[in-house]
Amino acid sequence: MPVPALLPDLLSAQASAADPNLELALRVLPALAVILLTAALCGRLATLVMQPRVVGEMVAGVLLGPTLLGAVFPDAQAALFPTQVRPVLYVLSTLGLTLYMFLVGAGMDHDARAPGELRKASVLAASGIISPLVLGGAAGLVLWERLSRPDVGRLEFALFLGGALSLTAFPMLARILYERGLQNTRVGRIALLSASIDDAVAWCLLAALSAVHLGGGTGDTLRTIALAGVFAAVMLGVVAPLLRPLGRRVARTGHLGAGAVYVVVLVPIVAGWITDAIGVYSVFGGFVAGLAMPRQPAFRAALHGRMMDLVSTLLLPVFFAFSGLNTHLGGITGGFALLAFALILVLAFSGKYFGCSLATRALGFGWRESWAMGAMMNARGLMILIFINIGLAQGMITQELFAMLVLVAVLTTAGALPLYKLALPERLEPADAEGAQKPAPVGAATGETGFI
The percentage of the chain sitting over the pLDDT mark of 90, rounded to a whole number, equals 24
Q: Do 135 and 162 touch, CB atoms closer than 8 A?
A: yes
pLDDT of residue 9: 57
pLDDT above 80 for 121: yes
Average pLDDT over the chain, rounded to an integer: 81
| Torsion, CA 273, CA 276, CA 280, CA 285, rounded to 10 | 10
Among 96-105, 110-119, 156-165, 243-252, the minimum mean pLDDT is found in 110-119
Burial label for 216, CB within 10 Å (0-12, 13-18, 19+), is: exposed
Please report the pLDDT score of residue 449 as a whole number. Answer: 38
pLDDT, position 183: 62
Instruction: Fill in the DSSP letter of residue 1.
Output: -
What local confidence, expressed as pLDDT, does residue 305 receive?
84
Higher pLDDT, 20 or 271: 271
Separation of alpha carbons 77 and 321, rounded Å: 12
Quick one: pLDDT at residue 385? 83
Where residue 180 falls among pLDDT bands split at 50, 70, 90?
A: low
d(CA 326, CA 66): 8
The pLDDT value recorded for residue 233 is: 92
pLDDT at 110: 53
Across 224-237, average pLDDT: 87
Residue 335: predicted pLDDT: 82
Tens digits of per-residue pLDDT, 17-40?
567 788 888 889 999 999 999 999
Q: How many angstroms separate the CA atoms of 140 and 178, rounded?
A: 36
Largest CA distance in the chain: 72
More confident residue, 86 or 218: 86
Better pLDDT: 35 or 169 = 35
pLDDT in tens, 432-444: 444 344 444 444 4
- Distance CA(96)–CA(103), nearest Å, equals 10
The share of the chain scoring above pLDDT 70, in percent, equals 84
- Answer yes or no: are the C-beta atoms of 250 and 256 closer than 8 Å: yes
Report the distance separating Cα 91 and Cα 218, nearest Å: 30
Give the C-alpha separation, 288 to 272, whole Å.
Answer: 9
Cβ-contact 353, 378 below 8 angstroms: yes
- Rounded distance, CA 103 to CA 105, Å? 5
Please give the single-letter amino acid code of residue 142.
Answer: V
Please give the Cα distance from 352 to 131 (Å, whole number).
Answer: 7
Helix (H, G, I), strand (E, B) or coil at 153: coil
pLDDT (0 to 100) of residue 17: 54
Helix (H, G, I), strand (E, B) or coil at 10: helix
How far is it, in rounded angstroms, from Cα 259 to Cα 279? 31
Q: Which residues contact 193 (CB under 8 A, 6 or more apart)?
A: 109, 110, 112, 117, 118, 121, 125
Task: Using pLDDT thresholds of 50, 70 and 90, give the confidence band for residue 7.
Answer: low
| Each residue's pLDDT tens digit, 394-441 | 888 888 899 899 889 888 888 888 888 888 887 776 654 443 444 444
User: C-alpha distances in angstroms, 418 versus 155, 378, 388, 413, 414?
Assistant: 35, 12, 25, 10, 8
Lowest mean pLDDT among 53-57, 149-153, 174-178, 356-360: 174-178
Q: Are 452 and 169 in contact (CB under 8 A)?
A: yes
Instruction: Give CA–CA dist 272/275, Å, rounded.
Output: 5
pLDDT computed for residue 113 by the predictor: 58
**Of the listed ranges 67-76, 109-118, 140-149, 193-202, the one predicted with least confidence:** 109-118
- 196: amino acid identity, one letter: S
Reference 385, options 319, 288, 447; nearest CA is: 319
Q: Are 66 and 80 in contact (CB under 8 A)?
A: no
